[in-house]
Chain A
Amino acid sequence: MIDIDKWQEIYLTIKQHKVRTGLTAFGVFWGIFMLVALLGAGKGLERGVMNGFGDVTNVVFFWVGNASQLPYKGLSKGRTIHYTDDDIEAIRSRIKDIDLVKDLNGLGNYGSAQYIVRGEKSGSFSVRGSHENMAPMHQVRVIKGRYINKRDIDDKRKIAIIGTRVEELLFEQNEDPIGKSLNIYGVHFQVVGVVKPRSSGDNAQRDAEVIFIPNSTLRYAFNQTDTVGTIVLRPKHGVHANIVQPQVEKLLMERHKIHPSDAGVVSSFNLQEQYDKVQGLFTGITFFSWLVAIGTIMAGAIGVGNIMLIVVKERTREIGLRKALGATPISIVVMIVQESVVLTTVAGYIGLFLGVLLLESVTMLMEKMGMGDGIFSKPEIDFGTAMVAVIVLVISGILAAALPAAKAAGVDPILALQDE
């Protein structure tokens, strides 16, 4: 159907109106280029931010907030509660859909730092309890040695996993911290691993000033056997954290005899809710990118349509002649539509190509400069999106040609060939 002659015809007519064709094609080119750049940038931002969540997106943390504000069941207000292992046991047995529930303790108040000395060197670090497989939950990645395992917990081993800043501050430049001993408030711990936080920027430094020890060891060695600082739980696969969070909250409030409307006592943080919010934001950004880009492509296509209208007008005589020589209206329509589609598709393809090239260069540059883990990471456009863009292009090319093609098909050869 598309033989060499048609291509030649298209080539010849496009060649005839170089400047105008170029300017029009630029409109479409820019639309696609923008789409690729916007979607790529959006994806990069999404990657960066979503990386911050790590692999864990659905955990819920419970801790004790303020003292009770309302009297309840004969108990006066102003009562301070604390969680215990019984609470963990109750949650485990009473709440379905829970995959994991664990105790998390720390030294000092949550987020406070402990002054730790090692020989000549010293620093302030946050010492926190943890369990096996919990590195992702703490948003850290093991870069040397290992993380806590089940036997560490069961045997209350005195081992420690240190953050990168701890390694920097407490060890010599070329010293391997693995196997070395660390004194935390008079208790000797053996370093078995180093972790790096996933976060970037200002938070990264503080998040790297951390020491993880088995939570069982922490509670035993530092006199917290009857208290659980924070309860962390993860719903079963496929269950949203929003479903289990209120159940657990209600259970904890009942167990500690807190008035149902006394909101600030059993405090919690639902990571999945945050995750959903951010994801919603990026869905919005993607939608907006498409809106802008399709608007631009449409504007470009309308430009193409406009040019085609002028071209048809300019070529009235030629079209009239073709009809006199035996061209059917359909063949004229096909000619105009093909020209428009070729114009938009070629222009759009160049836009797509250069847009992808831009994203690739940005990614390469960022990798070279070691900026891969930031808030903005690896901009990219996936193949499916690119295909949709191409389809949008072809359709807009056809739509753009509809009116000019109808005009061309309606040319009266007698009038067109009349001598001026």
Chain B
Amino acid sequence: MIELKAIHKSYSTGQQQVHVLKGVDMFVAEGELVSIMGSSGSGKSTLLNIIGILDHYDSGHYRLAGTPINGLTERKAAYLRNRMIGFIFQAFNLLPFKNAMENVALPLYYMKVGRKERNRRAMEYLEMLNLTDRWNHMPNELSGGQKQRVAIARALVTQPKVILADEPTGALDSVTSQEIVEVLKNIHDLGNTIIVVTHEHEIAEQTQRQIILHDGLISSNEVDADILPIRA
């Protein structure tokens, strides 16, 4: 599903050049649930943004579901993001003036899906995340866990190829964090490909595979066979 080869990325701030990714090789198969671990500033978000076509890489090769991602126009990048990627953020990033259903429906708006159909599909995913009774609540009327579940519904609503979550539990307490991890595992069981960036071991341990990013390179890419769920 995701193939990265010798990805280099550096940022220049003023005169200084920060080499963040120094030749990352990474492969994620369809239907995998993997975590990316690493200390703060190790380039986890940078890597995830490149995978999510939000950022460019300097050199290397990247293919997403067989499509080479290289030198895209903004328009084309937006199109691919819209259809292939579902983002989940640490800060939820719900629009405060839209209710839960409208927030979930927003990616479909850019997919040019009609209003009725949009709302119907949004309700479907809210139901899946046990939020049916909250559909017309505004974000500030929801708890942190509920907000993140709305955000997950929004990531799922376009049926993307891959779900990217950057510290999805970073703003939640441990009980709620576990609840969100359970949700991610559930949607993984439905066949979704998920990449979770986290620095919490308890969360990483519940994924099929942990990719550890260190000093701009992937230092560990082993599959922890013990936690692999039994899959049909």
Q: A414-B49, A414-B55 are in contact. Are A327 and B110 (CB under 8 A)?
A: yes
Contacts of B201 in A (CB 8 A): none
- Cross-chain contact B106 with A325 (CB below 8 angstroms): yes
**Contact residue among A13, A318, A324 (Cβ-Cβ distance under 8 Å from B54):** A324
Tell me if A156 counts as interface (CB < 8 A to partner B): no
Tell yes or no: A92 within 8 A of B by CB. Answer: no
Tell me the residues in window 42-74 of chain B with beta carbons closer than 8 Å to chain A beta carbons. 49, 52, 54-55, 74
Find chain B residues with CB under 8 A from A3 CB: 115
Which residues does chain B contribute within 8 Å of A16, judged by CB atoms?
97
What is the count of residue pairs linking A and B with beta-carbon distances less than 8 angstroms? 59
Contact, CB under 8 Å: B115 / A330: no
Contacts of B55 in A (CB 8 A): 414
- Other-chain contact of A326, B79, B90, B95 (Cβ < 8 Å): B79
Residues of chain B contacted by A15 (CB below 8 angstroms): 97
Of the candidates B74, B91, B115, the one whose C-beta lies within 8 Å of that of A328 is: B74
Evaluate whether A4 and B115 lie within 8 angstroms (CB atoms) in the complex, with A326-B79, A326-B107, A331-B110 already known: yes
Q: A244 an interface residue at 8 Å Cβ cutoff?
A: no
Closest A residue to B87 using CB positions: A324
Contact yes or no, B78 A326, CB < 8 A = yes
**Does A187 sit at the interface, judged by CB under 8 A?**
no
Q: How far apart are the CA atoms of A271 and B93 in the complex, in Å?
A: 75
A286 to chain B, nearest CB (A): 45
Contacts from B to A (Cβ < 8 Å): 49, 52, 54-55, 74-75, 78-79, 81-83, 87, 89-91, 93, 95, 97-98, 106-107, 109-111, 115, 154, 158, 170
Min distance, Cβ B85 to any Cβ of chain A, angstroms: 8
Q: Given A5-B115, A414-B54, A414-B55, does the pair A325, B81 have CB atoms closer than 8 Å?
A: yes
Contact of B109 among A5, A13, A323, A330 (CB under 8 A): A5
Q: How far is the CB of B179 from chain A (nearest CB, A)?
A: 21
Give Cα A321–Cα B106 distance, bound, in whole angstroms: 10
A324 partner, pick from B81, B91, B115, beta carbons under 8 A: B81
Q: Is the CB of B90 within 8 A of A328?
A: no
Known: A16-B97, A326-B78, A329-B74. 5 other contacts (CB 8 A): A325-B87, A326-B82, A326-B111, A329-B75, A417-B93
The A107-147 residues at the B interface (CB cut-off 8 A) are none
Q: How far is the CB of A179 from chain B (nearest CB, A)?
A: 81
Closest CB pairs A-B (n = 3):
A326-B82, A326-B110, A328-B78
Contact present for A328 and B106 (CB under 8 Å): no
Q: Is A372 close to B, CB under 8 A?
A: no
Classify the interface of chain A: helix, strand, loop or mixed: helix
Q: Which of A5, A321, A326, A330 makes the CB contact (< 8 A) with B93?
A: A321
Q: Which residues of B contact A329 (CB under 8 A)?
A: 74-75, 78
Q: Is A240 an interface residue (CB 8 A)?
A: no
Q: Complex Cα distance A147/B155, Å? A: 89
A322→B54 contact, CB < 8 A: no
| Interface pair A12/B98, CB less than 8 Å apart | yes
Contacts of B158 in A (CB 8 A): 326
A54 in the interface, Cβ–Cβ < 8 Å?
A: no
A328–B111 Cα distance when bound, in Å, is: 11
Report if A330-B75 is in contact (Cβ < 8 Å); known contacts: A12-B98, A419-B90.
yes
Give the Cβ gap from A314 to chain B, nearest Cβ, in Å.
12
A413 to B166, CA, bound (A): 14
| Contact residues in A for B52 (Cβ distance below 8 Å) | 324
Can you pick out 11 interface pairs between chain A and chain B where the beta carbons lie within 8 Å of each other? A12-B97, A324-B87, A325-B82, A325-B154, A326-B78, A326-B158, A327-B110, A328-B78, A328-B110, A414-B55, A417-B89
User: Within 8 Å of chain B (Cβ to Cβ): is A407?
Assistant: no
- A259 at interface, CB cutoff 8 A: no
**CA–CA, A325 and B104, complex, Å:** 11
Contact B97 A322 (CB under 8 A): no
For B110, the chain A residues whose CB sits under 8 A away are 322, 325-328, 331
With both beta carbons as reference points, the residue of chain B lying nearest to A413 in the complex is identified as B54
